[in-house]
Structure 1
Amino acid sequence: MIRIGIFFGGQSREREISFAGGRTVYDNLNKDLFEAVPVFVDSLGNFILLNWEFIYKGTIRDFYPPASVLDIKNAEFQIYIESLGEMSRTEQDQLISQVGCRLNPDEFGSLFDFAFLALHGPYGEDGNIQGILEWYGIPYSGSGILPSAIGINKLIQKDLMTQTGFKRPQSLTLSKDKWLQTTDVNTLLIEASAIVGFPFVIKAPCQGSSIGVTVLQEKNAQAFTDAINKSFFLQHIERSQWQTLSREQKVNFIRTLTDIREGIGMPVTVRGGVFDNHVIYSPSELLAFLDNENYGASLLLESTDSEEMIIMEGFIEGREFSCIVVQDEYGQAIALPPTEIVKRQTLFDYRSKYLPGMSRKITPINIQTPYIQRIKEECIELFNKLQFSVYARIDGFINEAGDVFLNDPNTTSGMLPSSFFFHQAAEIGLNPSQFLTYIIRTSLAERIRTGKKVAVFKQVLNKLDSALEHLHNNPTAKTRVAIIMGGFSSERHISVESGRNIYEKLASSGKYEPVPVFLTGSEQKHELYVMPINIMLKDNADDIREKVKSKDKPHEALVQIREEAQNITGKYVSNHISKAEEITYKKLATLVDEVFIALHGRPGEDGAVQQQLEKVGLPYNGSGVGSSQITINKYETNEILAQHGILVAQHTLVHETAWQADTAAEVARLEKTFQYPFIAKPADDGCSSAVKKIKNRAELEAFAALMFRKIEGLESSVAQVLNLRPNEEFPQKRYFMVETLISANGAAHFLEITGGMLTHNRNGERVYEVFEPSETLASGEVLSLEEKFLAGEGQNITPARFHKDAAAQQKVSAQVRAELERVAKILNVEGYCRIDAFVRVYDDLRAETIIIEINSLPGMTPATCIFHQCAINGYKPYQFIDKILEYGKSKAGAVA
C-alpha cells in the first residue's frame, strides 16, 4: 500500500470547500492501492493528524473548535478556532488533542509517501505548502512552487497574460490606502468606468470561489462603495442605523458579516477613533461591542486577513466556461471538454458554484466545434506558458465574435463529487477513484522531472505501477449493486447527491461494483436508465434526465477529446458503460445482485420501488413496503404514534377541495385550532422541501396557493410572501399538513435533534443499534434542504448537547435514544432510518422527545449527519453502507 497524506481544510476563506473536497479524496482513493492519511490544516496553520471520524462532519465548525469549549446556552453564532482569541501552543494542543494530534513537518515522511493537496486559496495553492513539502522531500499533487504562486495571484497573472498575447479586458488596480483616503467616490467611479468600461468587475486578487467579487451593474456610488469594501474585506457601521435594528436583525447582520464566504470573517480590527487597532475575535464579542461601546457616529471594521490591492476590470459579454487541463502519460497537456456555466444571476458566485440546481453545467459548451477547439488550444497554451503541471482549471469567456478571454487559471480545482474536476474527467470515462489514481501517478512522474529526490520518488512510482499491473492482471469477482437515484420529487437533486456518494464509496472498494441507475417517469410508470459515469456526474437530476432520454449522438468535440485521452483511459478505465440504456425492473434483475435505493420522498420512501424489486427478487436496502407506506405519510405516522403514547405536534390536514370550496371557513378552522406561528408542510412526501413557518394569514394563503397551483412554476408575487429563494423547490399537492410550532414549554434546555440507527439480523431477530443523535442548528426559521445535506451549509453538533455534565448527558441521551427506538419498532422500520425530533430537557433531567418525522431512506450525501453518528460507533461510511446492504440480503433470505 502507498500511504497518501490528504491535506485539507486550511487557513483560507475556502476552507469548507477544501474540507469537503478532502473528504471526497479520502473516500474515493482506491482501497486496493492506497492507504489514506487525513492531515487537517486548521485556520491557525496547525497540521493535525485527524481522527478519521471527524472527516465525516458536515462542516469544520461541527467539530473544531470542539463542542466542549462552546457555550451550550449561546449557540447564536458558528465560529472557527481563531474566534477563541490568542492562545498559547499548549492551549492549542489541548484543543487539537480532542480531534487528533499535532504534526510537525519533519514527521510527514514517517506517516505518508505522497501528499495529495486539496487545499484552496492562500497557504494552499500559492506555493507555501508546496515549498514545505519539497523541503522535507515529500512528493505532492499538482503544480510546483512557482506556477502555484502565479496561479493564486490575479495581479501577476494579468501582467503575464498581457505580455504573452492573451486577450484581456481593460483593467486597473486600487490600493487600500488610496481607497481609505478617497473623499470623492463619484469621481473615482467615473474615472474607473472611463478606463475599464461599464459594467465592470471588482475583485480581490488572491481569493478563489468568487469570494470578494462583484459585478457592478449600475453607476451608483453606494453600490460602488459596497463592492470595493467587499473586495477589501471592510465594513462600515453607522451607529444610528445599528440602533434601529431589532435583536434578531442584529444577530443576522453579524452572521452575514462574519461569514468567511459572504462577509469579512473574523477576527476584525477596528480602524480609527479611540478604538484604533482594537482586535475583536468572536461574533458575540462584536455584537456586544457594537451594542455597548461608545465608538462614535461610525465605525470601520477590517478583516485581519484582508487584501491590500484590488482589481477592477471590464465585464466580458459572452458565454462563461471552465476547462480542466491535464497532462498525459508523456507530459503533454490535454484539454478536457470545456463546460459552459449557465447562471441564474450575473455572477457565478460561491453558492452557484457548489449548490446543485443553482446553475447549470453544460459539457461541452454549446457552441460549434471549431470554437471549442479554440478554447482548448488557448487553455493548453496558458497551461504551458504559466508552467502548470499535472492538472489545472482554467476559466474564461468566449464572445459572439469567437474571441476567447481567459481570466482565472487555478492550480487546484474544487473536489466535490460533481465539481468540474470530476465532471470533465467523467467525459473521457474516468470515475473519481480512477481519476485520483491518475493524478497521483502523474504527479509522481512530474516530481521526478524536477531532479529532486529522484531515486526515492522512482521507488514510489514503481511500487504504484506494479500494484496497478497486478490489479489489471488479476481482476476479482465483485457484487454488482444497482444504485437507484433521481426520481421526480422535489428532493430529486439531493437524491442524486446521495446516489453519487453511495456509488463513489462502493467504486473504491474491493467488494462491490456499483451500477448507476437513474429513475424518472411518473407514479404510474417508473422509467429506469442504466447510465455512464459522465451522465451520473451531471450537475443535477434535471440535467441527468435530459441526457438519459436524449437520442443524440455524442458531440464530435467529445469524440475527439476521448481519442486524445486514450493513453490515459486505456490504463485506468475498466467496465466502462458507454451510453445510457433504458431498462425494466426485470432486466435490472439480470444485471445486478442487489439494489441500493438512494431516492428521497416519492417514489422510494413510499414502498413503490420496493414492490417492484420484490417482484423480480432483488434484495434492497431499508424498510419494507408496508412500513414505507406508513412513514411517507406524515399525518398517518403522527396518528399511529399518538395512539401509542408518543409525543407529536398537534396536527391536521388541509385538502384542496375544502380550501377551494370555502377558503374563509378553512382559514377560520385553522386559526381557531392553531396559534400563529405554526408549521405547514407536505404531508405525503419528503419534508425537506416546502417546510415553512407560517406567521400570519397572508403567509397561510400564499402557502396554499403555491401547494394547490395548477402550473409547475411559482408566481413571483406569491413566492415573495414566503421569502422563497430563486429556484427553490416547492411541490404541487392535493393536501398539506399544518402542525403546532414546538416550543420549550418551560424546559431548562430545548433543542432540535436528528437520530440515526441501524438494524441487525441476529439469529433471526431484528436488533436496533441507535446512534447518538445530532443537534441541528438552523440559520433560518426552519432547517433548510441545504443545511441538512450539503457540505459547509449547516451545523450539526454530534453528539447533541443535552447537558454539560457527562453523567447527566448520558442519562438524557439514553432516554432520547430509547424513545427513538420505540418509534422505529412501532413503525416496523428496518435496515436503517433517521428520525427528526425536538427534545425538552427539564431540571430533573426528565426528557420529552417530540417526533417530527421518520425518514426510511435518509439522505446519504457526504455531509449528512448520519455519517457523523455512525462514526461514533466505529463505522466508516463504506462500512455503514456495507452493513445496510448485508442486512438487505439477509432480510430477503439471500446468502450473505
Structure 2
Amino acid sequence: MTKAKKSLQVALLCGGPSLERGISLNSARSACDHLHSEQVTVNPIYFDHQKKAYKISRGQLYSNTPSDFDFKLASSATPLTRKELRDYLSTMDLALPAIHGPFGEDGELQTWLEKWKIPFVGSTSESCHNAFDKHTANQFIAENGFFTLPSAVLQKDKRDHRKIVEQFFSDHKLARAIVKPATGGSSIAVYSVSSVEEALEKSKIIFRDRVDERVVLEPFCEGKEFTVILLENRYGMPVAIMPTEIELDYTDHQIFDYRRKYLATRQVTYHCPPRFDDNVVERIQIQSEQLYTLFGMKDFARFDGWLLPDGNLWFSDFNPISGMEQNSFLFMQSARIGMSHRNVLEFVVQSACRRYQINFPKPRTEASEAKKPINVIFGGDTAERQVSLMSGTNVWLKLRNSKKYEPQPYILDSKMQVWRLPYPFALNHTCEEIIDMCHSAEQDDKRLSVLKRRVLDKLAPEPDQISEKWFLPEKMSLEQFLDTSEAVFIGLHGGMGEDGRIQAMLEERGVPFNGPSSKASHLCADKHATGLAVAKLEEHDIYTAKKRKVSIDSFKGYSMLEYNAYWDDLTSYLGTGSIIVKPVDDGCSAGVVRLFTPEDLRTYIHFAQNGSSCIPADCLTNQHGIIEMPTQKVNFLLFEEFITTDKVEVVGKKLKWQTVSGWIEVTVGILEENGKIRSLNPSITVASGNILSLEEKFQGGTGVNITPPPQKYVSALALKQAKKRIEIVASELGLQGYSRIDAFMNVKTGKLVIIEVNTLPGLTASTVIFHQALAEKTSLSPVQFVEKICDSMYTRFDKHLEEKRNVNKHPGVLKLVSSK
C-alpha cells in the first residue's frame, strides 16, 4: 500500500460532448456534495463539447447547465492541452469519470487514462466499449447464452435503410418498434414508431441531429421495465443491489424518456423493491452479476432490462457509469440496504483504491458538538409539490453535511397528515410514490428485510459503511408535527406553505422557521396584493406591470364573439398585443402563460374552469411543451401587460445580446444576515419558451441562468442601483430570512418592474439562488447558504425570546409574532 496522505485527491471528470452533459453536471455536483470531505478532496475537470478540458471550481458545478458557463470559459479561461491535462491528472490519486454517453462511457476517456497510467474509478476501456453499443452488446450477450430480443442496425452512410426496416418489420410481424441511437443514453432521441415510414423518418432525425452514426431498431417491448445497480464487494465480486421497477403507462406507446427520467412527474412511478416475485428479483440479481463479470466491469455499473410476459429476462442497456444525481437509482437502491450517499460513493471509490493499492484515508475521530435539530417538511398538495420534494430533500441532504444542524425529513400528504421518513423513502421521485410507500411500509417490511439480508450477506460491508438505521415511517397530524418540532425548515411551495398559514401556526407555538413572517408570506402569495404594495414605490423607480384581476366565473357561458370583445378591451387597457395570465395565488410557474389571441384566452379559460392538471402541448400559440396548472380551484386570474425585453441567448459558447427595449428579466435572491437584508447578485433568465417552465427552473440540465449579468451589457452602476431597489422592495414587503424577487430591470438605470415575490424560493440542487450565493464577494457554498438561512431563523427567534423575557413582569402570554 502507498503511504497515507492527509486527504485522497480525486479528479472528478464531467461534461463531455454528448447531449447528456447536463446530466453529467448533475452527477458531478452530487458526487462533490457527498464525497468531498476531510478525507477526500474533489477537484472538478470539465470537458466541453469539443473534449477540451478545463479546471473548474467546485462552485461552478452548481451551474444549471453547461451552457451557463461554457461562454464564460471560452472568453476567460484557457483549456488544458492534452499534456497539461495528463500532467495535472498525474498529481491526483484517482480519477472519477462522471461523463455519461459517448466519450465517457464508450471507452474513449478510459483509453486516455490507461495510456497515461492514471488510476480511475470504473470499468476498463475494453469493457466500456463492449457494453456501451446497444446492438453489439445485444449480440454479445446472445452469443453467451442470455435471452435477447432481435435487433437491426442502420448505418448513416449506407443506402439500405428502407430494405432493412421493411425486412425487420416483416420478419418479426411488428405493429410497433423502437428506434434509438446505438450509443446514446438517457432515452435521448429514443422513438416509439408504428410503421416503416415512421421508423425511417425518426432514423433520419437521429442522423440529421448528429446524435449518432448508427441507429438500432428493436421490437416495442410491453413487459415490465427494471433497472439494477451493481457494486463490488471487497473480494472483487459483483453484487446486485435492490432492483427498481419502472412503472409507466404504455397504452399510448410511451417510453421512459429524458423528461420522465430526470424531472419528478406522475407519468412514471418507481417501485424499489420491485413488485416482482422474490424468485424473479433473485434471477435479475444473479443474471446481472453474471453479465457484469462477462463484460469485465469494475467498481459499479447500472443495467436496464425487461421482465417479459413469458417470464424471460432481457437486459437491454449496460451503463458503465451510473447516474449519480441526488435521487438517482444508485442512491435509491443503496439506501434500501442502509447506505447513505456518502457511504455508497466512498464504497465505490474504495473499490478502485483496492485495485490500485491506494490507501483510503480513515476518518478523523473528533468530539463533535451537539447539533441543533431541524425538521424539514416538504410535499403538500399544490402543483409544485414535486418541486417542493426536490427542494426539501436537497435542504435535508445539505444540512446532513452541516456541523451545526441535524435535519430530519418529513412529508405533508394531501390529507394534511405528516409522515416522518426513513432515509430511502426521501429519495423517491414523487410525493405520491413516497406516500404510497408509507402506507404499505409495514406490510412490505418483512419481505424487504429478507431481500436486504440477502444483499448484505454478499456485499459484506464494514459496519461504518452502513450508516442509516431503518425505521418504519411515523404518521402524525400537522398539529402534532408542529407541537413536537424544535425548529422547522419549510420546504413547501405554494398553498399553505407560502400563504402564511403554516407560518402563523409556527408563530403561535414559538417555533423557529425559515423565511418571512405569516403577514409577509400572506401578502406575497397574492400576486395582485403584492402589485398594489409595490405600486407605492414609484418614487424609488420601482414599478409593477399594469394588471387586471378578474374572477374566472365572469367568463361562464362566454361565446367566441364575447371572447373577441374582451380580448380587444383587455389588450387596449394593458397596452400590449399579447398578455401574461397567471392564477392570483398559486406557485410561481403553475398556470403562468403568455396569450397571443382571443382563441388562446378561450382555451386557457376552458382548462382553468375545468380544473385540468395541465394544458397539453400545442394547445396555445407558440406553446413549448405541457403547462402545469394549479391543483386547487382557480378563482381569480391576473392579466398583465407583456413586457418586451432584449433578446439574450447563449448560442454554442457565445452570449448573443440583441438590444430591443433596454430591459431584461432578472431573478434576485435576498438573504438576511445579522438582522439585515441584503440583495444578492441578479441573474439573467434565459427561457427556451415564452415563460420559464417548471423544468427550466428546477430540473438540472435545462434552462440557462447567467450570474451576474455581464458588465459589457449591464453597467456596474445599474446593477448597484437595482440591488438597492431590491432591498427597498424587501423592506416594504417585510421580507425576512431569504426570498427571491423576479423583476424586469433596465440595463442602463437599474429601474425595476417587479413581477412577483417568492417567500420560499426553490432550493433544488441546481437552483439559481445557489449560483447567486456563490457569486458573492465572500462566496457561500450551498451548505453555507442553507446554514445562513437557519442561522437567521434562530437569531430572530432568540430576539423574540429576549423580548418575552423583558416583558415577563406583565400578565398574559406574549405570542411570538414576527415583525412586519
Aligned mates of 1:428, 1:597 — CA distance in 2: 29
Would the alpha carbon gap of residues 197 and 324 (structure 1) be closer, same or farther in structure 2, given more than 3 Å must change? farther
Would the alpha carbon gap of residues 407 and 730 (structure 1) be closer, same or farther in structure 2, given more than 3 Å must change? same
Q: Is the 8 A contact 2:22 2:700 kept in 1?
A: yes
Matched position secondary structure for 2:158:
helix
Q: Could you tell which deviates more after superposition, 882-891 or 650-659? A: 650-659
Quick check: 1:826 aligned with 2:732? yes
Quick check: 1:108 aligned with 2:70? no
Q: Is the 8 A contact 1:429 1:573 kept in 2?
A: yes
Q: Is the 8 A contact 1:760 1:767 kept in 2?
A: yes
Aligned mates of 1:476, 1:14 — CA distance in 2: 42
CA offset at residue 585 of structure 1? 5.5
Aligned mates of 1:857, 1:760 — CA distance in 2: 17
Post-superposition Cα deviations, 1:255-275, rounded to whole Å, max 9, x if no partner, equal xxxxxxxxx2xxxxxxxxxxx
Aligned mates of 2:341, 2:601 — CA distance in 1: 45
Correspondent of 2:503 among 605, 610, 614: 610
CA offset at residue 123 of structure 1? 2.0
Aligned mates of 2:762, 2:9 — CA distance in 1: 31
- Where does 1:206-355 land on structure 2 (aligned, <5 Å)? 206-219=183-196, 221=197, 223-231=198-206, 233-234=207-208, 264=209, 303=210, 306-307=212-213, 309-344=214-249, 345-355=253-263
Would the alpha carbon gap of residues 508 and 30 (structure 1) be closer, same or farther in structure 2, given more than 3 Å must change? farther
Aligned mates of 2:564, 2:326 — CA distance in 1: 45
Q: Is the 8 A contact 1:589 1:617 kept in 2?
A: no
Aligned mates of 2:615, 2:670 — CA distance in 1: 40
Aligned mates of 2:429, 2:319 — CA distance in 1: 21
Would the alpha carbon gap of residues 386 and 747 (structure 1) be closer, same or farther in structure 2, given more than 3 Å must change? closer
Q: Is the 8 A contact 2:615 2:627 kept in 1?
A: no
Alignment partner, residue 887 of structure 1: 792
Q: Is the 8 A contact 2:400 2:407 kept in 1?
A: yes
CA offset at residue 630 of structure 1? 0.5
Alignment partner, residue 169 of structure 2: 193
TM-score (norm 2): 0.87
Write the letter of the residue equivalent to 1:340.
E
Quick check: 1:155 aligned with 2:135? yes
Post-superposition Cα deviations, 1:106-133, rounded to whole Å, max 9, x if no partner, equal 22243x3222221112221233333433
Alignment partner, residue 35 of structure 1: 41
Post-superposition Cα deviations, 1:650-707, rounded to whole Å, max 9, x if no partner, equal 1122214433387887985564243442111111121211101122222222222322
Q: Is the 8 A contact 1:336 1:561 kept in 2?
A: no
Aligned mates of 1:565, 1:698 — CA distance in 2: 58
Alignment partner, residue 782 of structure 2: 877
Would the alpha carbon gap of residues 379 and 848 (structure 1) be closer, same or farther in structure 2, given more than 3 Å must change? same
Q: Is the 8 A contact 1:169 1:316 kept in 2?
A: no
Aligned mates of 2:81, 2:703 — CA distance in 1: 23
Quick check: 1:119 aligned with 2:99? yes
Alignment partner, residue 762 of structure 2: 859
CA offset at residue 839 of structure 1? 2.1
Q: Is the 8 A contact 1:328 1:565 kept in 2?
A: no
Alignment partner, residue 652 of structure 2: none
Matched position secondary structure for 2:147:
coil
Q: Is the 8 A contact 2:304 2:316 kept in 1?
A: yes
Q: Is the 8 A contact 2:671 2:739 kept in 1?
A: yes
Aligned mates of 1:45, 1:855 — CA distance in 2: 39
Alignment partner, residue 428 of structure 2: 538
Q: Could you tell which deviates more after superposition, 562-571 or 536-545? A: 562-571
Post-superposition Cα deviations, 1:4-29, rounded to whole Å, max 9, x if no partner, equal 22111122221111011101111122
Post-superposition Cα deviations, 1:800-857, rounded to whole Å, max 9, x if no partner, equal 24x526xx6101111221221111110010111111011234xxx3343111000111
Aligned mates of 1:425, 1:528 — CA distance in 2: 25
CA offset at residue 773 of structure 1? 0.6
Alignment partner, residue 514 of structure 2: 621
Quick check: 1:696 aligned with 2:593? no
Correspondent of 2:264 among 331, 356, 360: 356
Write the letter of the residue equivalent to 2:226.
F
Aligned mates of 1:359, 1:568 — CA distance in 2: 32
Correspondent of 1:512 among 393, 398, 405: 405
Post-superposition Cα deviations, 1:353-393, rounded to whole Å, max 9, x if no partner, equal 21210422222222222222222222122112212222211
Aligned mates of 2:624, 2:76 — CA distance in 1: 40
Aligned mates of 2:612, 2:81 — CA distance in 1: 49
- Where does 1:406-445 land on structure 2 (aligned, <5 Å)? 406-445=315-354
CA offset at residue 205 of structure 1? 1.8
CA offset at residue 559 of structure 1? 2.4
Q: Extract unaligned runs of 5+ from structure 1.
A: 68-91, 235-263, 265-302, 449-453
Would the alpha carbon gap of residues 191 and 723 (structure 1) be closer, same or farther in structure 2, given more than 3 Å must change? same
CA offset at residue 475 of structure 1? 6.2
Identity %: 28
- Where does 1:1-12 land on structure 2 (aligned, <5 Å)? 1-12=7-18
Write the letter of the residue equivalent to 1:749.
G
Write the letter of the residue equivalent to 1:696.
T
Alignment partner, residue 372 of structure 1: 281
Q: Is the 8 A contact 2:623 2:689 kept in 1?
A: no
Q: Could you tell which deviates more after superposition, 101-110 or 824-833? A: 101-110
Write the letter of the residue equivalent to 1:346.
Q
Would the alpha carbon gap of residues 334 and 558 (structure 1) be closer, same or farther in structure 2, given more than 3 Å must change? farther
Alignment partner, residue 178 of structure 1: 158
Matched position secondary structure for 2:182:
coil
Correspondent of 2:302 among 368, 387, 393: 393
Q: Is the 8 A contact 2:644 2:660 kept in 1?
A: no
Quick check: 1:674 aligned with 2:564? no
Write the letter of the residue equivalent to 1:547.
M
Would the alpha carbon gap of residues 644 and 213 (structure 1) be closer, same or farther in structure 2, given more than 3 Å must change? closer
Correspondent of 1:496 among 389, 396, 401: 389
Alignment partner, residue 272 of structure 1: none
Write the letter of the residue equivalent to 1:755.
V
TM-score (norm 1): 0.80
Write the letter of the residue equivalent to 1:157.
A
Matched position secondary structure for 2:178:
strand
Would the alpha carbon gap of residues 431 and 218 (structure 1) be closer, same or farther in structure 2, given more than 3 Å must change? same
Alignment partner, residue 145 of structure 1: 125
Q: Is the 8 A contact 1:798 1:868 kept in 2?
A: yes
Aligned mates of 2:565, 2:684 — CA distance in 1: 36
Aligned mates of 1:716, 1:18 — CA distance in 2: 29
Aligned mates of 2:484, 2:140 — CA distance in 1: 54
Q: Could you tell which deviates more after superposition, 624-633 or 504-513? A: 504-513
Q: Is the 8 A contact 1:154 1:206 kept in 2?
A: yes
Alignment partner, residue 270 of structure 1: none
Correspondent of 2:110 among 115, 123, 130: 130
Post-superposition Cα deviations, 1:60-112, rounded to whole Å, max 9, x if no partner, equal 10111228xxxxxxxxxxxxxxxxxxxxxxxx6x64249999952122243x3
Aligned mates of 1:430, 1:719 — CA distance in 2: 45
Matched position secondary structure for 2:273:
coil
Alignment partner, residue 649 of structure 2: none
CA offset at residue 340 of structure 1? 1.9
Q: Is the 8 A contact 2:644 2:661 kept in 1?
A: no
- Where does 1:711-750 land on structure 2 (aligned, <5 Å)? 725=625, 728-731=628-631, 732-744=633-645, 748-750=661-663
Q: Is the 8 A contact 1:486 1:495 kept in 2?
A: yes
Aligned mates of 2:617, 2:784 — CA distance in 1: 48
Write the letter of the residue equivalent to 2:168.
A
Post-superposition Cα deviations, 1:374-433, rounded to whole Å, max 9, x if no partner, equal 222221221122122222111111112211111111111112112211121222222222
Q: Is the 8 A contact 1:478 1:512 kept in 2?
A: yes
Alignment partner, residue 205 of structure 1: 182
Would the alpha carbon gap of residues 835 and 99 (structure 1) be closer, same or farther in structure 2, given more than 3 Å must change? farther
Write the letter of the residue equivalent to 1:574.
S
Matched position secondary structure for 1:156:
helix
Q: Is the 8 A contact 1:396 1:406 kept in 2?
A: yes
Would the alpha carbon gap of residues 714 and 885 (structure 1) be closer, same or farther in structure 2, given more than 3 Å must change? closer
CA offset at residue 792 of structure 1? 1.4
